[in-house]
Structure 1
């Protein structure tokens, strides 16, 4: 790889990092091509990305970004998982690491906050943006449904009273 290709790679990684909200650093020694492909498929499905990186180029890419503190974690055979959703990358990586011992979580970052392994696992346990949006919509819809029920109740009660009087008249 010549110097211009390395520069393009660093610029591309820096652009990807600028759009990311969270980053998880992993070591993946011994993963087969099929296993990495499966992990990438899961990451894409969650709206995240997974890149095997050269440590030196990754350090150059994170220099001057909010993820600059990750530089010390970039040793050995590393890869990074990135996502715009704060928890998507962490969820997929933690789940995959439980199933495959060859993938080790080194640490990560959420915005300017550098996370250790436990921090990444805690981040993974949080609900995603989509789950939170669903809960908020549910909370907002519940009062509206109750109001509709309260407004419909008097009409229903009136109809039942009239039906009861009609049955009494028929019985008499």
Structure 2
């Protein structure tokens, strides 16, 4: 018979797996309570960092339909459940791990598949969604400006040609009466 507190813990972890856009599995050995508090603060509101027993996490992952994490669940384990942008949380974890050698990123889970630690680090190296969207918008704006210039070019060439023709006709018209001054005599 399972103890009620463990059943409740498994249910809570399973709910977090279901509600998370991504999860990052870490090892936290050697970190103090103050460092864990600092890590939680650096993750912000988009992620929660939870220390859990491996057996409970395995059961919760199975309940939530998360496969591929069993090999990551060895040693002291803590999981960052990301509800916002996975890139931001991965960046915060990578930066914290760089500054604090006690935190080791083991891997993660996102978009229905397990991630290796290398894939999590690659995710951390991506630029944020807002930056990528801004770059895309800038590229699109540049291409639209180029297209507008190309579409405008024939019309402006026709306008310059028409102006040159009008100037030429005006010059010829002004020159024609000057030649005609010695024209026919009066009768």
TMscore range, shorter length: 0.7 to 0.9
| Contact residue 15 and residue 64 of structure 2 kept, 8 A | no
1:136 Cα deviation from its structure 2 partner: 4.2
Answer yes or no: is 1:9 the counterpart of 2:9.
yes
Please state whether the residue corresponding to 1:40 is helix, strand or coil.
Answer: helix
Instruction: Give CA deviations for 1:47-78 in whole Å, capped at 9, x if unaligned.
Output: 11211111111111100435321122111111
Change in CA separation of 1:141 and 1:27 when aligned onto 2, cut-off 3 Å: same
Q: How far apart are the structure 2 equivalents of 1:88 and 1:55?
A: 25
Count of aligned pairs: 149
Instruction: Give CA deviations for 1:127-165 in whole Å, capped at 9, x if unaligned.
Output: 223333444454566678897xxxxxxxxxxxxxxxxxx
Change in CA separation of 1:3 and 1:90 when aligned onto 2, cut-off 3 Å: same
Q: Aligned ranges for residues 72-87 of structure 1 at < 5 Å? A: 72-84=71-83, 85-87=85-87
In structure 2, the residue matched to 1:59 is 58
Structure 1's unaligned 5+ residue stretches are 148-172
Please state whether the residue corresponding to 1:87 is helix, strand or coil.
Answer: helix
Q: If the length of structure 1 is used for normalisation, what is the TM-score?
A: 0.74
In structure 2, the residue matched to 1:39 is 39
| Contact residue 22 and residue 110 of structure 2 kept, 8 A | yes
Q: How far apart are the structure 2 equivalents of 1:86 and 1:112?
A: 14
| Contact residue 47 and residue 80 of structure 2 kept, 8 A | yes
Change in CA separation of 1:109 and 1:144 when aligned onto 2, cut-off 3 Å: same
What is the alpha-carbon root mean square deviation over aligned residues? Answer: 2.5
Please tell me whether Structure 1 or Structure 2 has the larger radius of gyration of its CA atoms.
2
Answer yes or no: is 1:22 the counterpart of 2:13.
no
Please state whether the residue corresponding to 1:69 is helix, strand or coil.
Answer: coil
Q: If the length of structure 2 is used for normalisation, what is the TM-score?
A: 0.68
Instruction: Give CA deviations for 1:84-124 in whole Å, capped at 9, x if unaligned.
Output: 32322211111111111111111112222222221111111
